[in-house]
Structures are given as structure tokens and as C-alpha cells.
Structure 1
Amino acid sequence: MHPRFAFSGLFGLALIASLALKLPGNVDIAVAEPNVVPRDVASLLEQRGFQVRQNTSDYDLLWVEGNIGEECRVLIAPIAPQGWHQALVTGMAEGNQLFYFFEGQMYSEQPILRTRAHYYWRKLNRYLGLSAPDRPVLAAIATPNCESLPLNDLAMLTDR
């Protein structure tokens, strides 16, 4: 068999598979589940004695704000696993503590390779009609003297 024909056959199969994923009946499997993380974060902070409110910023992030008196303020939001919000969050955190949470771990910087790989792995699974666990990425900005943050519990919210 000539390599050109083999390549053409493989290309044709890939084209057919790609088009099959775009049929009207397959549209629903590509839609992500609604995100309940902000509600879970708010509940966790309330359990720890924080005064909680939710804010939608101009940057399309849903921030959960928690305060304990004047000395401790924290902002927590689910962010894009592709790293799109990293510069924004870093700029907002200037002079404050910054934490990222993913798969039950805490990081000082967003582990973009890991979060992006999981995002595309999950997306591929949805296209194939399979399920993969949703592992949200959280960013938390806290004032420097805020010592009562439930860091381990926040990390556990990302490892379901």
C-alpha cells in the first residue's frame, strides 16, 4: 500500500469522526455542568465566622468576599484553567497574600500546565460521552494579616 493512500485514509477517518462530533444530537455533551463552587466557598467561609457576600467584577469573575472584622479580608473566585485570569489576579493581589487551589493542593502560582491539561482532558471526555470529575481552579487573595483562612478546606473544594 502506498503511504499516500494510507495517509489519505487516516485523514478521511479523522474528518468523519470530527464531523460526527458536531452533529446536532451531540451538542449537549459539550456543555459544562453549572458551577456550584462560589456557593460552596461562601458556605465554608460562613462556617468559619466570616461575613460573606458575592461580587461580580468587571472582569467576568464571581468573587466571594469574606471579612472578619477590619483586619482580615479574603476574595476567592473560580478562575479559568487555561490561565486567562492569572495576570489579572496577580495584579489585584499586589501587596496581599495570593493562593491558588487545584486538585486538593495549594500553590503560590497557578499550575497552568496541570489545570489546562485537566480542562482539555475533561472536554475530550465530554465529547466522547464519558464523564470526568470537575476540578475547579480557585484563586484566593487575602490581606497580609489574615491568619484564620481555611486553606486546607479550600483546597478540598477543588478535589471532588
Structure 2
Amino acid sequence: MLLAASLGGKGLSLKQTNSAPPGDDGVISYLEERGLTVNSTDARSATIWTSATSGACQVRFTTVAPEGWSQTIVAEQTKGTDDHLTYAYDGRFYAQQPVLRTRFENYRRRVVRYFGFVEPDLQIRAIAVSSACPPQVFGPDAAQRLSR
């Protein structure tokens, strides 16, 4: 009986995991509202980036793992460019991914889902913004909208 309840809870939590590509949750519409044209998703690299442009301004974003596994890859893919790399999480921007916070929150949400409650998936975004972008490329609500 306990085994059946345990497996049922785990199956429920797996069923609720979101595996949608980045941008399928309102980020693309937000970038379009800001006057950027969403160009493509680059699935050739280990990290799937979606890019948007407006003239010489280019913004790339990707959803990253809460455990921080993709930090090195993301840093490597933005190294040698004029891109400013930032992370959007929990309604704020960070210069580096707050791995302890995101890891803890991810595990907290998994426990909540394990007991059958609904918790949305954690959204942590790495955002690379080229130096050609004006400072107002993101509005005051950007961190909140990019990390929900």
C-alpha cells in the first residue's frame, strides 16, 4: 500500500514537469512588446538559446538548470562577445546565477509536488544582451516577467 502511494506521488510529480522549450511561456511576447523581433531558437548548442533583435541590438535567452549545471556552458557561449550576461530569477536580475537559492527552491517545489500539490516549474533565465542595446531595452517589470 505504501509502495503504491509512493510510486503514485512520484508519477504525479513527473507528469507535472514542464519540458517546453524556452520562450513558450510569455517571454517571446514580452520581447516583442519591447520592439524586438524574435528570430530563432538555436538548438545546435548544448544550451538552447532563443534570440531577438532590433537593429544592432541582440538579446539571447535560455532557461537554465536550477542546480547550476549549465553555468559554465552559458559563460563559455557568451565569452569573447560584447554581451552582458545576467540571470533573471524570482523577479530580480543577478550577475551570477544564485545557485544555492535556485537549488533549494527547486527541491522545495519537488517536495510540494511529491505530496500532490501543484507548484509551477522554476524559471531561471540566462540573458545575454549586446552592448548595442539601449539601457531601456527592458522595462521596470522585466525581471518579473522573464522569471515567471
TM over 0.5: yes
1:154 aligns with 2:142: yes
The answer (yes or no) to whether the contact 1:135–1:158 under 8 Å persists in 2 is no
Partner of 1:29: 13
Q: 2:117 aligns to what?
A: 130
- Provide the secondary structure at the position in 2 that maps to 1:54: strand
Higher relative contact order (CA 8 A, sep 6+): 2
* 5+ residue gaps, structure 2: none
Pair 1:51–1:104, CA change in 2 (3 A):
same
For these two proteins, the number of residue pairs brought into alignment is 143
Distance 1:134 1:22 in 2: 20
2:102 alignment partner, SS class: helix
1:73 maps to what in 2? Answer: 58
TM-score (norm 1): 0.76
1:46 aligns with 2:32: yes
Q: Which amino acid aligns with 1:92?
A: Q
Q: Going by fraction, where is helix more abundant, 1 or 2?
A: 1
Tell me the TM-score normalised to structure 2 length: 0.81
Specify every segment of 5 or more residues in structure 1 that has no aligned partner in the other structure, as ranges: 1-15
Give me the CA root mean square deviation.
2.5
